[in-house]
Amino acid sequence: MTDTLDHPLIRAMDPLLSAIGGRVVLPDELSPGDIPIAWENEVIGGVRVDSLSTALARMVDQIETELGSSLANLGRVEKQAAVRMLDERGAFMLRRAIEDVAAMMEVSRITIYNYLNAIRKD
């Protein structure tokens, strides 16, 4: 059989795993919280997702890559777009996310609340 990490299903999942902060674990490394991956009735591995403690940092990294700059270096319109993107991805459901994003953008948390209020009125 093909090595698990080189299996076509695993290779096809790479972009998804990267986006959600997951990684492949071998079948003998599966833990109760892992998601088994089966191919033709055989478990070929599993997915282990990082904890939520790193979720905001992952989302911010993705948005900074998409927008081509750090949150602090964005202009007002781009910061509003970044807040919209973070909101759409559920970032503000995380504890302290508003304060953390405000610090990363070098704005007040009131500014983030104002951006969110304007976005959510649309």
DSSP character string of 29-93: G--TTSEEEEETTEEEEEEEEPPGGGHHHHHHHHHHHHHTS-GGGS-HHHHHHHHHHHHHTTGGG
Domain ranges of the chain: 4-50, 53-121
- 118: tokens are 């304007």
- pTM for this entry: 0.68
One-letter amino acid identity for 52?
L
Residue 111's H or E segment, with its range, is helix 109-121
Q: What are 45-60's pLDDT values in tens digits?
A: 889 887 777 889 989 9
Residue 105 reports pLDDT greater than 60: yes
Overall average pLDDT of the 87-112 stretch: 95
